[in-house]
Amino acid sequence: MGEGLFSPWHIAIIAFVVFMVFGPKKIADRFTDISQGVQRLMDDDGEGSGPSAATAASDAAPPPPAPKKVKLSRRIGQRLYRLTHRKKKRRAPL
């Protein structure tokens, strides 16, 4: 059991090498592309006649752009800047 190319250790080593070569972002993009292709096939109901209603609706109006993500290091830097350059409230003399 576990002999040959399909042993658990061989599969783990191959997965690790693929992950290190391509990186997590490219691998995630590939899986997204594959899942969208499978979803289109499922929506098409197995008939090869033109685009489905879902793809026609998506062609008519493009989705709004996603908000730009701010890196964690940038957010921390902005917070530290605000904390160090905060105006101190002056107390009224008694």
- pLDDT attached to residue 26: 83
In degrees and rounded to multiples of 5, residue 93 shows phi and psi of: -65, 145
Q: What is the pLDDT of residue 58?
A: 52
| pLDDT tops 70 at residue 72 | yes
d(CA 37, CA 31): 10
In the numeric block, which tokens belong to residue 77? 């830097």
Q: How much is the mean pLDDT over the chain?
A: 76
Q: Are 54 and 43 in contact (CB under 8 A)?
A: yes
Q: pLDDT tens digits, residue range 13-58?
A: 988 888 888 887 888 888 888 888 888 888 876 555 555 555 555 5
How far apart (Å, rounded) are the C-alpha atoms in residues 51 and 59? 10
Residue 19 has a pLDDT of 85
Q: What is the mean pLDDT of residues 56-72?
A: 72
